[in-house]
Amino acid sequence: MTRFRISFFIAAGIILAGQVSLPAQTNSASLDFQEVYNLIRQHAAGVSEAELNRAAIKGLLTALGPKVSLASKDSGTDTAAGTLLVTQTTMFDGNIAYLRIARVDDGLAKAVSTAYQQLSSTNKVSGIILDVRYADGLDYKAATATADLFVGKNQPLLNWGEGVVSSHEKTDALTMPVGVLVNHETAGAPEALAAMLRETGSGLILGSPTAGAAMAMQDYPLKNGEHLRIASAPVTLGDGSALSGHGIKPDIDVTVSVEAERAFYADAFLVVSNPVASLSATNKLKGTNPATPYIRFNEAELVRERKAGENPDEEIAKRPPEPQVPVVSDPALARALDLLKGLAVVRQNNS
């Protein structure tokens, strides 16, 4: 057996419920896998071969994740039948297109293009938000094809071990400002998509650092029907820089607690009693829905009612309040909307 010197023994020791332990100051890198494995197998009382095998495997996967992981025979890179890649499309503030991506897989570029065309057919779009929070997938070809939609010239985009793939020169690229929403659970090809859009100058990234799982993976079949998924090559951007295992750092950091982020992701207009509590000091919400209804009362109506001897204040009290316009309270989404609206104004003034 090949000799490994890795720190998985800590996890294995925990799994063996205290029967095997390492001193706190032990340099686990100096330990020999074969030696330790054999000693545990020969001398640990009450530890079966199956327990030891399970502990060793879990320790390896824990220490080497996400570079190494288990995948069932049904969890390949192909999209399951009927699974939507773009799960939500809408317009915010009249002219900002929002597309929520659940998974980066074959067909995503077409799905994004179709969603944009549908929104732009009835709206003048001045910016696009791609939401890849909680998105996964390992199809880097699909990520590159999607990034290509936003790049009008020919330039290198990505290399995932199959050579550098470049964008195509085109006149119909989506060149309006783009904001990409990410979080700690943005993993794999969605990380590459976000990085490409930033690298090409097509968009800015908002949210929290990503998972750091953008690696070219190769599946190897196991006897039990599962697959061992191993990182076979780094994923590099067009300039040759590798995507970090520490994840992608956003251009604009928006720190939200895990619970709050999931709540806002489910309902962007969620009204909370203390919207600042879950946010960092530099990314506080500016407010929620106004508490007091605002009733418009123009000058002509004031003159008419005074001539008729009516009291405008009483008339205001009689009128039903105008419906309140929902306010986006999702911190990352709200920041992206503010950013894109600002960029749209700058573009309009410079045109």
Closest to 229 (Cα-Cα) out of 243, 219, 237, 221: 219
Task: Tell me: do 46 and 91 sit in the same domain.
Answer: no
In this prediction, residue 79 carries a pLDDT of: 47
Task: Tell me: do 58 and 175 sit in the same domain.
Answer: no
For tokens 């530099």, the residue is 282
In a domain, 165, yes or no: yes
- CA atoms 182, 185, 189, 195: torsion sign: positive
Q: The domain containing residue 44 runs over which residues?
A: 9-64
For residue 97, CA distances in Å to 25, 124, 131, 172 come to 54, 9, 11, 17
Task: Tell me: do 60 and 164 sit in the same domain.
Answer: no
Task: Report how far residue 192's alpha carbon sits from residue 203's, in angstroms, rounded to the nearest whole number.
Answer: 13
For the chain, what is the radius of gyration of the CA atoms?
27
In this prediction, residue 143 carries a pLDDT of: 98
Least confident window among 65-69, 108-112, 207-211: 65-69
Cis previous bond, 190, omega within 30: no
Task: Report how far residue 336's alpha carbon sits from residue 343's, in angstroms, rounded to the nearest whole number.
Answer: 11
Average pLDDT of the residues in 91-105: 96
In a domain, 127, yes or no: yes
Task: Tell me: do 103 and 153 sit in the same domain.
Answer: yes
Do 181 and 332 touch, CB atoms closer than 8 A?
yes
- Taking only the tens place, the pLDDT of each residue in 67-95 is 888 887 555 444 455 579 999 999 999 89
Q: Is pLDDT of 200 > 90?
A: yes
Do 101 and 107 touch, CB atoms closer than 8 A?
no
Return mean pLDDT, the chain.
Answer: 82
In this prediction, residue 340 carries a pLDDT of: 95
pLDDT, greater one: 285 or 160: 160
CATH, residue 189: 3.90.226.10
Task: Tell me: do 96 and 58 sit in the same domain.
Answer: no
In a domain, 253, yes or no: yes
In a domain, 3, yes or no: no
Task: Tell me: do 94 and 132 sit in the same domain.
Answer: yes
- Report how many domains make up the chain: 2
Task: Tell me: do 34 and 125 sit in the same domain.
Answer: no
In a domain, 103, yes or no: yes
Task: Tell me: do 172 and 205 sit in the same domain.
Answer: yes
Task: Tell me: do 115 and 230 sit in the same domain.
Answer: yes
Decide the pairing of beta strands 156-159 and 236-237: antiparallel
- Residue ending a domain, among 220, 240, 259, is 259
- Taking only the tens place, the pLDDT of each residue in 208-243 is 999 999 998 888 999 988 989 888 889 999 999 999
- Residue ending a domain, among 200, 230, 259, is 259
Helices 49-64 and 33-43 cross at an angle (nearest 10°) of 150
In a domain, 157, yes or no: yes
Per the structure block, which two tokens stand in for 191? 């990380």
Task: Tell me: do 46 and 152 sit in the same domain.
Answer: no
